[in-house]
Amino acid sequence: MMSRPDIRAFVLTLLIGGGGALVAYALAFPAPFLIGPALAVTIGGLCGLKLTVLQQVRNVCFVIIGVSMGTGLTPEVIVAAKTWPLSFVMVLVAVVILLHSGAWVLQRLFGYDRVTALLAASPGHLSYIMSLAAETRSDMLVVGIVQSVRVLALTLTVPLIVEFLDLAGAAPALPAETMNLLVLAVTLAAAVALGLLFLRWHFPAALLLGGVVATAATHVTGLVSGAVPDWILTPTYVVLGCVIGTRFSGVSITALRSAFVAGMVLTVVVTALAASMAACVSYLTGVPLDAALIAFSPGGLETMAAMAVMLNAHPTYVGAHHVLRLMFLSALMPLVLGKDARQKP
């Protein structure tokens, strides 16, 4: 049940996020409806405001992003996917390299214990990582802050890097026309049903994946065509940006300071490593560099997927790589932590 304080906090969050989106748009930021709210809500949270996004609204946004990604799965994409197996292998290699490199940095430069360093350095899957942190001898506050800094920093910097290097797709990756409203409504209903099924099966990013499958199944055959209308996508991006920013709500500056620095250093290291591997994959497979950069960036799946849609950077390719990354992390982290994964504090 939604309490009145939660609803008030949600409305305030939307007002702040909406204002941030308008400012970012006026300043011609890349991906303004994602960057603006994320930054504005982060600042509001650090100033002591109680900010939140209702879980029901957040889940709806995940479904819509998934549906939007699925509209990009066309027969032409299937042909291009023949070059993806090498890229899939490289993303698994990247996860291992980023995890151990990041953990080494956090242990050597900041003195964190092994378990805390490994959890904080995990390149994604925040909710899963926090559940592991709750069951291990680790510093949950440090893990949460470092992970949140990574997500926020990548959300802000990846579009700027793509824009600065002039890598953004020149033409939309999605069909120019929009889906018929009745078809869209049926697709969304199917996406929700599949998402709930995937939740029961404990799939990572289940709601987003449900949207992808529901849409891709019809678009790849040509049975249905068209994109999700902008009047639905734009508010979705704003809410998603707010979700990112709310991770810092209620965190004191004192508690944030040390872990924030660690998070920024970690983000620089893993971003440089991920960008190097993305450039290599782009060169070997012919995948556009903007798509490879977003696919290998260790940010949140929903955020990176939305970014790929906004920047016309092959959303299907990006989404497939991030889903694979999360599934691999789900199996890898208990193995890496070993017996520590079962030691409660």
Residue 170 banded pLDDT, cuts 50, 70, 90 = very low
Q: What is the average per-residue pLDDT within 19-31?
A: 89
- How confident is the model at residue 206, as a pLDDT? 82
pTM value surpassing 0.85: no
Residue 44 banded pLDDT, cuts 50, 70, 90 = very high
pLDDT digits (tens, 9 = 90+) for 184-198: 999 999 999 999 998
pLDDT digits (tens, 9 = 90+) for 223-275: 777 888 889 989 998 998 898 888 777 776 776 777 889 999 999 999 999 99
The share of the chain scoring above pLDDT 90, in percent, equals: 34
pLDDT greater at residue 201 or residue 80: 201
- How confident is the model at residue 136, as a pLDDT? 77
- How confident is the model at residue 340, as a pLDDT? 54
Mean pLDDT of the chain: 84
Whole-angstrom CA distances from 73 to 174, 177, 318 are 9, 15, 12
Q: What is the average per-residue pLDDT within 305-331?
A: 83
Q: For 226-248, what is the HEC assignment? A: CECCHHHHHHHHHHHHHHHHHHH
pLDDT greater at residue 9 or residue 174: 9
- How confident is the model at residue 265, as a pLDDT? 94
Ordered DSSP codes for 53-65 = --HHHHHHHHHHH
The Cα–Cα gap between 335 and 238 comes to: 37
Q: What is the average per-residue pLDDT within 51-56?
A: 91
- How confident is the model at residue 75, as a pLDDT? 65
Estimate to the nearest angstrom the gap between the alpha carbon of 36 and the chain centroid.
16
- How confident is the model at residue 173, as a pLDDT? 43
Look-up: residue for tokens 């204002």? Answer: 19
Predicted confidence (pLDDT) at residue 13 exceeds the cutoff of 50: yes
Residue 149 banded pLDDT, cuts 50, 70, 90 = confident
pLDDT greater at residue 345 or residue 59: 59
- How confident is the model at residue 29, as a pLDDT? 81
Predicted confidence (pLDDT) at residue 175 exceeds the cutoff of 50: no
Task: Specify the DSSP element, H or E, that contains 155.
Answer: helix 140-164
Residue 117: Cβ-neighbour burial (10 angstroms; 0-12, 13-18, 19+): buried
The Cα–Cα gap between 164 and 182 comes to: 40
DSSP, collapsed to helix, strand or coil, labels residue 113 as: coil
